[in-house]
Chain A
Amino acid sequence: MSAFHFLRALSQINKTTPKSSLLLRSRRIRHAAYASMAYTAGRSRLWSRALLRRLQRRSRLRYFSSQRTRAVIAPRRLKAVRPRSGEPSRAEALRRLVPGGAGMDYCSLLDETAHYIQCLSSQVQLMQKVVGSISS
């Protein structure tokens, strides 16, 4: 299912974006990859919800934003992930990595991380297969 979504998005991107803007294309493809991954994961996961929210926000801002708004959102200031008690120090880094990780307790963070890793690895495999089939 994620493959279907991703391929569809990919084809759309190929059709719509100019070939010259490589950066734009790569960003859009990455956006599509994460979107299809989050969609496949479903709403039951914290990270997928947070991921979709983030993608929507960025896309909407990007799409509807004026020059000024884009200037505002571009310097993305990360809200400081304050170190929490009762958990390892490295948990902060993990929270930054996993979407939506800042709002979770450590226990659910590990849970979400596990699922996120699964989805990420499957998405990577899918993309590798697509690249392989396209290049060959």
Chain B
Amino acid sequence: MEMNANDKFGMEKRSGVHLNHHISGVSADCQFGTPSMGAVPANPAIAMSQGVSMISSSSPSVPGVDFFGPGLWSHPANPQNLGFSNAQTNTGASSSIPIGKPVAVSSRGMFLQAIPGVLPPNLSHFPADSAFIERAARFSCFNGGNFSGMMNPFGPSESLTPHPTASRGVTGTQGHKSELNMTEVPRDITVPIDHGSSSGSPLKNQRDKGSYLVGGLSNVSREANFTEVDQEKSTELANAAGNSSSSDLGSKKRKRSNQDMELDQVQRGTQLSMENTKDNAETEQNLEQNSSRPNGKQAKDSTEGSKEDYIHVRARRGQATNSHSLAERVRREKISERMKYLQDLVPGCSKVTGKAVMLDEIINYVQSLQRQVEFLSMKLATVNPRVDCNIEGLLSKDLFQFRGGSSSMIGFSPNMIHPQLHPSQQGLVQPGISGMGSPSDAVRRAMNAQLTVMSGFKEPTPQIPNVWDDELHNVMQLSYSTNPPLNTKELNGKPRDGFPI
């Protein structure tokens, strides 16, 4: 379907409208280039029309590309600032061009909208701030700039430069985003084309589009396009590849928490923005450099392709599209992330590099902690008989602040305690169990030193079911009930699994 420049322009506006609606929630401080819209250069328009036709004809399963193609390229967006507000005003005058995928738009818009709301909390290393979100939101609407300069020889997806680590290394958000965009966008474009059409010119047009996208898109537009296209692309990849590995991926990825999902999205977004900041020539150069300079990690991934995740993980440039390698890379990233966290946890491991040495350190540390527990329990066993009352005093002292009689506290049944302890763990006090709530607070305050460590746990404390209480009740009772005297054989039997029980 050939669309003249006007139609395309209207379509862009319409896309901008749709996007704006969804992204209106995001603080839009970018100024939509209204004059720039009017000044759509002929070349991009033509290319866009071709590209649009290409996209629309290439694969019906990629409505997003269809929709955003013209929208992305028709707007010669300012490299940095594109305003949704202006877009909104502009789109008011847009004609009702049957771009025809309002559903897709809404899904994408919602998808975009979800991004700002669901930033993973632990993405400290990503510039996942509101500015990023804005850019991501804006990204979908805007595209433009001089794509002609970005006539990269975007080969097949395999030729994408691997630069995940490089992108990550760049602390600047812009760099990350643009770089990712570079990898992702051409990937997106080529995939539908490969599936959709095999003609040379369409392919070239797609590549041009990709280059356009890479070269001239603003951060926002790129990110948005990326996210949008990513959705489509991932679906398309799944369809096209027809891999059972997709199900494997699904099974693997389902384990991933939402955090990881967001992490990936933000990763891609950051990488996209990183790309955006560079000008066309630079990005081209970077691409070339990246392709020629695979990192150690990327060298392995050089054969890998686009990351495919049921959350639409995007493949990096130069990486194979094999879904297995995709999942593997995701897994590797998770492992490295956790190793980093463990490194912070284990004292004296900051200068240790390498997973093997790190693992050894972790094992040593866990063993030393378990030995310490055993030693301290032995010490407590010897010390305790002398200070029988002290323990009760310690316990009651905290509880006594809100209650009378320490003995009454000590004698509480575990079932009464447990519901209290749950709220206390979560920082809440159940009003229903007033008696128990106070002791929990007291204990918490008194034992703040220990409790601060517990509160530092990164995972959220979920509601513990009542079965938990019963279980613990049994365990605690059994632990200090009068057990029959253990025979020497049992006492001497050391736990061979290293678990000191």
Interface residues of A (CB under 8 A from B): 1-5, 7-17, 19, 21-36, 39-45, 52, 54-56, 58-60, 62-63, 67, 70-71, 73-78, 88, 90-91, 93-94, 96-99, 106-108, 110-111, 113-131, 133-135
Contact = CB atoms under 8 A, between A and B. Distances in A.
B481 A122 contact: no
B359 A19 contact: no
A115 B457 contact: yes
Contact of B391 (A10, A28, A94, A129): A10
B453 A122 contact: yes
Given A10-B384, A127-B377, A76 B480 contact: no
B425 A42 contact: yes
Contacts of A126: 447, 450
Interface string B440-469: 100110110111011011111110110010
Contacts of B1: none
A35 B376 contact: no
B366 interface: yes
Nearest to A50: B499
Interface in B331-353: 331, 334-335, 338-339, 341-342, 345-346
- Residue among A39, A90, A115 with the highest chain B CB neighbour number at 10 A: A39
Interface of B: 255, 331, 334-335, 338-339, 341-342, 345-346, 355-356, 359-360, 362-363, 365-367, 369-370, 372-374, 376-388, 390-392, 394-395, 398, 410, 417, 421, 424-425, 439-440, 443-444, 446-447, 449-451, 453-454, 456-462, 464-465, 468, 471-472, 474-476, 478-487, 489-491, 493, 495-501
A120 B370 contact: yes
Nearest to B489: A74
> Main secondary structure on chain A at its contact with chain B?
helix
Nearest to A34: B501
A70 B490 contact: yes
A5 B346 CA distance: 26
> Main secondary structure on chain B at its contact with chain A?
helix
B391 A62 contact: no
A118 B326 CA distance: 32
Nearest to A134: B387
Contacts of B465: 43
B256 to A, nearest CB: 10
Contacts of B457: 41, 115, 118-119
A134 B383 contact: yes
Contact of A8 (B341, B387, B395): B395
B89 to A, nearest CB: 49
- Residue among A23, A35, A94 with the highest chain B CB neighbour number at 10 A: A35
B385 A19 contact: yes
